[in-house]
């Protein structure tokens, strides 16, 4: 019997310092929790579960900003319509704690429209909305969703109505896009191209080709060849119309970036114990460190743990075979085989998670046990929250 | 292997398309499935190209190789003398190549890049980026040498379900911006290929609620937009293991004792909990399978690779895809 050997391999989180999620959620100095990680690891669910826990257990007035929640999860939070503004979630247990939970779903285009309206007069805004480039940029700009998530976070933060804002991040091509969005926007706005395009518009809106530098002559030649002159004039019009609000955009992007770096923010990496997700989390941890963003820890989601951890998987398989030969105990044999599969999976997951801890030994880790069914109601979120928190539902 | 010796028939009559677009929700393993499909379609002396367009270097990570440059490189051999090549398409490089190929403007392109014009153009009009990426895919798919196509099949590790419809629907996007000119012509050519029987869009899913929902949504979008859907590929499935959730503590105790295992209360109740959870999961998976079947498309199930996706695992998946033919 190799019980001792097996017990060492069972996930125990011993290797990594434990992440005290409850301490973070209860800390009045923490005003923003950002959940980030690869797609498909349960980021949105985690964000919603932590927000619920902050309200129910820690009495905080909490708002959760979700990006693209599953339909049923959205419903359970009362998010039946996408109105881009936080709505209070009813039917949760906050009588004792005095907390509140508000939830909202990001409407990217509407957030962008609001920014435009806020920074420019109605006539200019109408001009911008009508431009085909605006339509393209506001719905498909690589990073628009990320930027608008950060913009919305900035807005919620500025309203000062909440003790705690929990943010889900978009399922980016790279999970880092939301960090890069402000810088990319700034680079874009500072870009020489933009100034070249703006120059003719500023000089009275004559043909932009009257302003010819070597580079710009080449640009216009190529663009005309590829896309036609119509596109250039649309582009020029768009850039000129946006010009009035660039300063505001830029300032807000930088402001949000600074909020993210502040001590009031806690970044939580979310990963499933799978090689890709853990690799992504490690990459992200390195990136947060490089950007001097406050990384609070890793939430390892959907971790499989046998409920009978003392029973060695190989031993179980051998026993199942013995029972099969013996006859009469088919039910137990099936259960033992299933146990062996689960226990083997647990060991594999532990090895995968250990790769992260080997790379970032000081980053605390909390494990959330996998639920048999998908989570899409308040009870399910409560379970996830308590697993992440005290580790005991 | 020389092109002339390659089999003339397209690989597998059940995978009749030449361009295979593989999408799926993030986390479903679409890169692994795309790689396995490229291996499967190269089986028996064929040559395939595995393409990625999102700058993630997912193929290099999967195969443990150095990052791929913007060039078609030998990736690996396939069973029976086939070859898989890989290409990581980069929008900027594609534009430079395009300028050079059609306008002899390579120098101008490089100057534009220095100016930041290309970054600018692809930022402000993301549709242009997608035209360039899909344009390169089309070029590789239709490229010929002598009388023969260079690739028997091209497999695209495409953007995830959330972005795929927009990515493929390049004409709509560019038509709003570029009303004339070669980019418009180019995007129309791409749109025609993507809507032709030469293309099949496959959706990778897991037996989990969100991926299945996104699969259904994406397939509805494809139908509206006219993209030919190939198969639903259910990844990481587990073999059916019958577990009786209603097994009693007494039965378990008797069984454990008969097998010579400890039958203390903690072990018995632990195993009973595992059996219940397992059975809940199985029921959910069964209902999700039914939901997928109701979409009315051919389903392929790929096994879970318990030890992660390594080369042996990819070969296993490829074999399963070949069998599905």
Span B244-252, mean pLDDT?
A: 91
Q: Indicate the number of domains in chain A.
A: 1
Q: Residue A133 above 80 pLDDT? A: no
Q: What is the pLDDT of residue A247?
A: 66
Nearest to A193 among B120, B184, B255 (CB): B120
Span B209-235, mean pLDDT?
A: 95
Q: Looking at chain B from residue 223 to 242, which residues have their Cβ under 8 Å from any Cβ of chain A?
A: 238, 241-242
- A214-227 and A192-202 helices cross at what angle (nearest 10)? 90
Task: Say which CATH number the domain at A383 has.
Answer: 3.40.50.300
Can you read off the two tokens belonging to residue B319? 């074999």
Q: Looking at chain A from residue 314 to 373, which residues have their Cβ under 8 Å from any Cβ of chain B?
A: 315-316, 319-320, 322-323, 326, 328-329, 331-339, 341-342, 344-345, 348, 352, 372-373
Q: Is residue A34 part of a domain?
A: yes
Return the SS3 of B26: coil
pLDDT winner (highest mean) among A223-227, A241-245, A248-252: A248-252
Q: Nearest chain A Cα to B266, which residue?
A: A308
A208 pLDDT tier (thresholds 50, 70, 90): very low
Helices (H), chain A: 3-9, 21-26, 43-56, 71-76, 108-119, 122-130, 132-140, 144-159, 177-190, 192-202, 214-227, 229-243, 246-261, 275-290, 313-326, 330-359, 378-388
A369-380 pLDDT, tens digit per residue, is 999 888 889 999
B108 neighbourhood in chain A, CB within 8 Å = 218, 221-222
Strand partners, B153: B48
- Asked whether the beta carbons of residue B258 and residue A334 sit closer than 8 angstroms, the reply is no
Distance CA A32, CA A50 (A): 12
Inter-CA distances, B182 with A227, B5, B94, B186, B193, Å: 7, 36, 14, 6, 16
Can you read off the two tokens belonging to residue A305? 């743990």
Q: What is the pLDDT of residue A84?
A: 86
- Asked whether the beta carbons of residue B260 and residue A279 sit closer than 8 angstroms, the reply is no
Q: What is the pLDDT of residue A223?
A: 66
Domain boundaries, position A184: 19-307+348-388
| Termini Cα distance of chain A | 32
Could you tell me if A243 lies within 8 Å of chain B, comparing CB atoms? no
A136-174 pLDDT, tens digit per residue, is 777 655 567 777 888 889 899 999 999 999 999 876 655
B61 neighbourhood in chain A, CB within 8 Å = 279
Burial class (CB in 10 A: 0-12, 13-18, 19+), B91: buried
- Asked whether the beta carbons of residue B255 and residue A225 sit closer than 8 angstroms, the reply is no
Mean pLDDT is lowest, of A26-35, A60-69, A207-216, A364-373, for A207-216
Span A108-131, mean pLDDT?
A: 86
A22 pLDDT tier (thresholds 50, 70, 90): very high
Could you tell me if B258 lies within 8 Å of chain A, comparing CB atoms? yes
Distance CA A146, CA B196 (A): 34
Q: Residue B2 above 90 pLDDT? A: no
User: At a CB cut-off of 8 Å and minimum separation 6, what does B178 contact?
Assistant: A226, A227, A228, A231, B128, B184, B187
Could you tell me if A114 lies within 8 Å of chain B, comparing CB atoms? no
Q: What is the pLDDT of residue A356?
A: 94
Return the higher-pLDDT residue of B28 and A15.
B28
Q: What is the pLDDT of residue A1?
A: 39
Return the SS3 of A94: coil
Q: Residue A237 above 70 pLDDT? A: yes
Mean pLDDT is lowest, of A101-110, A125-134, A218-227, B186-195, for A218-227
Mean pLDDT is lowest, of A30-34, A193-197, A263-267, B230-234, for A193-197
Residue A34 dihedral angles phi and psi, to the nearest 5°: -105, 120
Which residue, among B28, B258, B280, B281, would best test binding to A if mutated, counting the most A CBs under 10 Å from its CB? B258
Confirm or reject CATH 3.40.50.300 for domain B3-241+293-323, answering yes or no.
yes
- Asked whether the beta carbons of residue A307 and residue B270 sit closer than 8 angstroms, the reply is yes
- Asked whether the beta carbons of residue B261 and residue A319 sit closer than 8 angstroms, the reply is yes
Tell me how close the Cα of B56 comes to any Cα of chain A, in angstroms.
Answer: 7
Distance CA B58, CA A381 (A): 32
Taking the model in full, what pTM does it have? Answer: 0.85
Which residue, among A174, A215, A227, would best test binding to B if mutated, counting the most B CBs under 10 Å from its CB? A227
Mean pLDDT is lowest, of A357-361, B28-32, B180-184, B261-265, for B180-184
Domain extents in chain B: 3-241+293-323
Which residue, among B188, B206, B210, would best test binding to A if mutated, counting the most A CBs under 10 Å from its CB? B210
Q: Residue A393 above 50 pLDDT? A: no
Q: Order of strands across the sheet with A265-271?
A: A87-88, A100-105, A61-66, A164-168, A32-36, A265-271, A295-303, A365-369
Mean pLDDT is lowest, of A171-185, A206-220, A309-323, B37-51, for A206-220
Span A229-246, mean pLDDT?
A: 69
| Termini Cα distance of chain B | 24
Q: Where are the beta strands (DSSP E) in chain B?
A: 19-24, 47-52, 73-78, 82-88, 144-145, 148-149, 153-157, 199-205, 229-237, 299-303
B238 neighbourhood in chain A, CB within 8 Å = 341
How large a percentage of chain A has pLDDT more than 70? 75
Q: Residue B31 above 50 pLDDT? A: yes
Q: Residue B4 above 60 pLDDT? A: no
Q: Residue B93 above 80 pLDDT? A: yes
Return the higher-pLDDT residue of A215 and B211.
B211
Q: What is the pLDDT of residue A329?
A: 94
B240 pLDDT tier (thresholds 50, 70, 90): confident
Q: b/e for B98-107, b at 16 or more Cβ within 10 A?
A: bbeeeeebee
Distance CA B163, CA B15 (A): 24
Return the higher-pLDDT residue of A226 and B212.
B212
Residue A129 dihedral angles phi and psi, to the nearest 5°: -60, -30
Q: Is residue A5 part of a domain?
A: no
Q: What is the pLDDT of residue B239?
A: 81
Side-chain-side CA neighbours of residue B103 (13 Å):
19
A285 pLDDT tier (thresholds 50, 70, 90): very high
A226 pLDDT tier (thresholds 50, 70, 90): low
User: At a CB cut-off of 8 Å and minimum separation 6, what does B248 contact?
Assistant: none
Q: Residue A392 above 50 pLDDT? A: no
Nearest to A248 by CA among A314, A109, A151, A105: A151
Could you tell me if A130 lies within 8 Å of chain B, comparing CB atoms? no
Can you read off the two tokens belonging to residue A195? 């100034």
User: At a CB cut-off of 8 Å and minimum separation 6, what does A130 contact?
Assistant: none
The answer to whether the CB of B202 falls within 8 A of the CB of B233 is: yes
Can you read off the two tokens belonging to residue A176? 């880092």
Mean pLDDT is lowest, of B92-106, B260-274, B304-318, for B92-106
Q: What is the pLDDT of residue A112?
A: 85
Span A336-343, mean pLDDT?
A: 94
- A122-130 and A132-140 helices cross at what angle (nearest 10)? 80
Strand partners, B78: B82
Distance CA B257, CA A323 (A): 10
Q: What is the pLDDT of residue A172?
A: 60
**What is the interface pTM, i.e. ipTM, of the complex?**
0.81
Q: Nearest chain B Cα to A308, which residue?
A: B270
Span A174-183, mean pLDDT?
A: 62
Burial class (CB in 10 A: 0-12, 13-18, 19+), A166: buried
Q: What is the pLDDT of residue B88?
A: 94
B106 neighbourhood in chain A, CB within 8 Å = none
Mean pLDDT across chain A, nearest whole number?
Answer: 82
């Amino acid at each position: 019997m190799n019980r001792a050997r097996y017990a060492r391999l069972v996930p125990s989180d011993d290797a990594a310092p434990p992440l005290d999620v409850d301490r973070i959620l209860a800390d009045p100095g923490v005003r923003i929790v950002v959940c980030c990680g690869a797609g498909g690891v349960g980021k949105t669910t985690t964000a919603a579960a932590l927000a619920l826990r902050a309200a129910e257990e820690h009495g905080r007035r909490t708002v959760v900003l979700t990006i693209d929640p599953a339909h049923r999860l959205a419903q359970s939070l009362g998010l039946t319509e996408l109105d881009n503004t936080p709505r209070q979630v009813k039917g949760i247990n906050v009588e004792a704690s005095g907390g509140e939970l508000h939830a909202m779903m990001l409407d990217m285009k509407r957030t962008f429209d609001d920014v435009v309206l806020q920074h420019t007069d109605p006539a200019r805004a109408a001009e911008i909305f009508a431009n085909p480039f605006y339509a393209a940029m506001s719905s498909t700009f690589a990073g628009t969703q990320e930027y608008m998530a950060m913009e919305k976070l900035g807005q919620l933060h500025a309203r000062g109505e909440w003790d705690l804002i929990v943010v889900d991040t978009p399922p980016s091509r790279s999970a880092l896009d939301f960090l890069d969005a402000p810088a990319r926007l700034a680079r874009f706005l500072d870009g020489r191209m933009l100034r070249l395009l703006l120059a003719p518009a500023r000089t009275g809106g004559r043909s932009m080709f009257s302003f010819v530098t070597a580079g710009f002559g080449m640009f216009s030649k190529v663009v005309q060849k590829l896309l036609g002159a119509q596109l250039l004039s649309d582009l020029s019009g768009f850039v000129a119309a946006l010009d009035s609000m660039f300063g505001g955009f830029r300032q807000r992007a930088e402001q949000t970036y600074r909020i993210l770096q502040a001590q009031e923010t806690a970044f939580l990496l979310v990963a499933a114990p799978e090689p890709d997700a853990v690799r992504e989390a490690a990459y992200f941890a390195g990136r947060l460190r490089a950007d001097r963003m406050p990384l609070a820890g890793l939430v390892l989601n959907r971790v499989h743990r046998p409920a009978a951890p003392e029973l060695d998987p190989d031993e179980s398989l051998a026993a199942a075979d013995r029972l099969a030969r013996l006859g009469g105990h088919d039910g137990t044999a099936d259960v033992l085989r299933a146990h062996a599969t689960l226990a083997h999976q647990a060991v594999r997951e532990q090895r995968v998670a250990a790769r992260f801890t080997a790379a970032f030994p000081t980053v605390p880790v909390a494990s959330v046990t996998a639920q048999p069914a998908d989570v899409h109601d308040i009870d399910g979120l409560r379970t996830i929250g308590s697993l992440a928190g005290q580790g005991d539902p | 292997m020389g092109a002339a010796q390659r089999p003339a028939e397209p690989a597998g009559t059940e995978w009749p398309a030449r361009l295979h677009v593989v999408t799926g929700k993030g986390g479903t393993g679409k890169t692994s499935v795309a790689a396995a499909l490229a291996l499967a379609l190269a089986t028996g002396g064929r040559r395939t190209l595995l393409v990625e367009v999102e700058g993630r270097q997912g193929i290099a990570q999967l195969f443990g190789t150095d990052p791929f440059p913007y060039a078609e490189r030998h990736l690996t051999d396939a069973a029976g003398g086939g070859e898989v090549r890989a290409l990581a398409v980069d929008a900027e490089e594609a534009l430079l190549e395009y300028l050079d190929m059609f306008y002899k403007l390579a120098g101008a392109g490089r100057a534009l890049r220095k100016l930041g014009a290309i970054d600018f153009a692809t930022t402000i009009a993301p549709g242009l980026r997608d035209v360039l990426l899909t344009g390169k895919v089309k070029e590789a798919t239709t490229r010929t040498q002598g009388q023969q196509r260079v690739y028997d099949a091209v497999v695209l590790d495409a953007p995830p379900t959330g972005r795929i419809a927009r990515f493929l629907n390049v004409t709509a996007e560019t038509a709003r911006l570029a009303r004339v000119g070669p980019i418009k012509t180019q995007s129309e050519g791409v749109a025609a290929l993507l809507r032709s029987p030469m293309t099949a869009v496959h959706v990778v899913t897991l037996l989990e609620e969100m991926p299945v929902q996104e699969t259904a949504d994406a397939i509805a979008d494809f139908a509206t937009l006219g993209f030919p859907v190939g198969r639903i590929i259910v990844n990481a499935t587990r073999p059916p293991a019958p577990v009786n959730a209603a097994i009693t503590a007494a039965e378990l105790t008797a069984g454990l004792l008969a097998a010579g295992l400890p039958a203390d209360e903690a072990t018995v109740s632990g195993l009973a909990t595992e059996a219940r959870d397992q059975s809940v999961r199985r029921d959910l998976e069964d209902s999700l399978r039914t939901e997928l079947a109701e979409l009315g498309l051919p389903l392929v199930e790929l096994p879970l690779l318990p030890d992660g996706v390594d080369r042996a695992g990819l070969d296993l998946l490829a074999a399963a895809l070949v069998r599905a033919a």
